[in-house]
Amino acid sequence: MKKRVLQILLVTAVFLLLTGCATQTTTQPHDLSSPEAISATLQSILVGFFLFLPKMLAAMVLFVITLYLAAWISKVVRHIMEKRRMDAGIILLVYYIMRWSIVIVGMITALRQVNFEVTTFLAGLGILGFTLGFALQDISQNVIAGLLLLIQKPFELGDMIQIDEFTGTVLSVDLRTTELRTRDGHNVLIPNAHVFTEPITNFSRQATWRVSLPIGVAYDSDLELVQRVALRVIQTLPDVLDDPAPVLHFHTFNTYSIDFTLNYWIDSRVTNPFTAKHPAIIAIQKAFAQAGIEIPYPIQTEIQVEREPQS
C-alpha cells in the first residue's frame, strides 16, 4: 500500500513539475544573449520554481486525497447497494462510474491549481481518445460491451452459463473481460466483445430442467412392459419431479435395438443437472435386469478365409 502511494506521488509530482515548467517557459520568453541575461534568466526560473512549488504541493495533496476519496465513496455506495440486495451488475456499473468520475473531477481541479489550461488539455484529450479508439478497437469494443452487459444483464454473478465451448459459473464481469469458473476448476477470462456477440445459454434462469435419457432394448422385448418398468423406476427417484410428469416415447428401429427416449424433469437448485442421469441409469439397468428386459449391444462377427498353399 505504501509503495503504491509513493508511486502515485512521484508520478503526480513529475507531471505537475513538467506542467509548471512548460507554463513558465511558454509565458515568459528569456534573453540568453549575454552572461548577465543568462544569470538573470536562471534566477527568474529559480524564483518561479519556488513560487510554483506550493501550488504543486497543493495540487499533489488534492489529487491524492481525491484518489482515496473516490475509493472510499465508491466502496461505501457499493456496500449500501449490496445491503439492499440490488443487482450485482448494476452495483459494478455504479461503482466504476462513480469512482472514475470523482478521479477525473479531482484531476481537473488539481491541474487548475498550477494554472494549467484545462480546456486545451480536454480538447487534446478528446482528439487523443478518438485516435486511440481507432488504434485500440478491440479494447474499446470490450469496454463498451462490458458496459452493455452490466446494463442488459443476460446473466448474474453466480449463474451457470455456456459461451461457445466454455461452460461455468460467472465469477466477475469487469470493463474488459468476463471471468468463468469451469466445471473442471479452471478460471477462464473471455473478452466482453466476444461474450456480447455470441449466443449465451443461461442454465440458472430456469429452476426446472428436462433430462433426456436415450435407451435401446432388444427386438423381442415387450415394449409395453418396457414402458411401464421405465416410468415406474424413474418416478421412484427422489430428484425427479412429478410435474411435469416423465414421458417415454419409442422412435427408432435401430440395427440391434428398438430405441426410445425417457424424458424427466429435475429441480436444478437441488440436483446437479450434469450428473442427473447417473442415478437413473443405475436404477433402470437394475430394473430391466430383474424384469428380463435385454439392453443389446453390437456384435461383430469375424470371418477368416484361409487359402491352401499352392504346391
* Higher pLDDT pick, 231 / 22: 231
Does residue 213 sit within a domain?
A: yes
* pLDDT at res. 227: 94
CATH number of domain containing 155: 2.30.30.60
Grid cell locating 23: 507554463
Q: Is residue 177 part of a domain?
A: yes
Indicate whether 307 belongs to any domain. no
Specify whether 118 is located in the same domain as 192.
no
Q: Is there a domain that residue 277 lies in?
A: yes
Q: Which of 184, 202, 220 finishes a domain?
A: 202
- Residue where one domain finishes, among candidates 76, 102, 135: 135
pLDDT at res. 1: 47
Q: Give the number of domains in the chain.
A: 3
pLDDT of residue 85: 72
| pLDDT of 25 | 47
My answer on whether 213 and 192 are in the same domain is: no
Mean pLDDT for 282-301 is: 85
Residues 76 and 11 in one domain: yes
Instruction: Give a yes or no: residue 311 inside a domain.
Output: no
**For residue 126, what pLDDT is reported?**
66
pLDDT tens digits for 141-177?
787 888 788 777 888 888 889 998 899 999 988 878 8
> Based on the domain organization, do 169 and 217 belong to the same domain?
no
Looking at residue 304, its pLDDT comes to: 57
**Residue that terminates a domain, selected from 183, 202, 221:** 202
Same domain, 190 and 216: no
Rounded Cα distance between 138 and 142, Å, is 6
* Domain span holding position 243: 208-291
- The model's confidence at residue 96, banded by pLDDT at 50, 70 and 90, is confident
Query: Does position 190 have pLDDT exceeding 80, yes or no?
Result: yes
Mean pLDDT of 72-92: 78
233 Cβ contact partners less than 8 Å away, ≥ 6 residues apart: 280, 283, 284, 287
pLDDT of residue 131: 60
Cell numbers at residue 280, please? 437413473
Instruction: Write a three-state SS string for 130-195.
Output: HHHHHHCHHHHHHHHHHHHHHHHCCCCCCCEEEECCEEEEEEEECCCEEEEEECCCCEEEEEHHHH
pLDDT in tens, 11-49: 555 555 555 555 544 444 545 555 666 666 666 666 666
Instruction: Fill in the amino acid letter for 137.
Output: Q
Write out pLDDT tens, residues 203-230: 888 888 899 999 999 999 999 999 999 9
The pLDDT of residue 8 is above 50: yes
Examine residue 11 and state whether it is found in any structural domain, yes or no. Answer: yes
Its sign, for the CA torsion 265, 267, 273, 277, is negative
Question: What CATH number corresponds to the domain at position 33?
Answer: 1.10.287.1260
Residue 110 — very low, low, confident or very high, per pLDDT cuts 50/70/90?
confident
pLDDT digits (tens, 9 = 90+) for 58-78: 777 888 888 888 888 888 888
Predicted pLDDT at 281:
93
What backbone phi and psi angles, to 5 degrees, belong to 75? -70, -40
Percent of the chain, pLDDT > 70?
A: 69
128 and 14 in a common domain: yes
- Selected residue with higher pLDDT from 138 and 248: 248
Statement to judge: residues 251 and 179 lie in one domain: no
Query: Which pLDDT tens digit goes with each residue over 111-148?
Result: 777 776 666 666 666 666 656 555 556 677 787 888 78
- Residue 175 shares a structural domain with residue 216: no
Q: Are residues 32 and 129 in the same domain?
A: yes
- At 253, which CATH number? 3.30.70.100
pLDDT at 311: 53
pLDDT at 124: 63
Q: What percent of the chain has pLDDT over 90?
A: 24
- Is 299 a domain residue? no
Based on the domain organization, do 50 and 91 belong to the same domain?
yes
128 and 46 both lie in a single domain:
yes
Residue 109: per-residue pLDDT: 80
Give pLDDT, residue 230.
94
Residue 74 domain-assigned?
A: yes
Looking at the fold, whether 13 and 86 belong to one and the same domain comes out as: yes
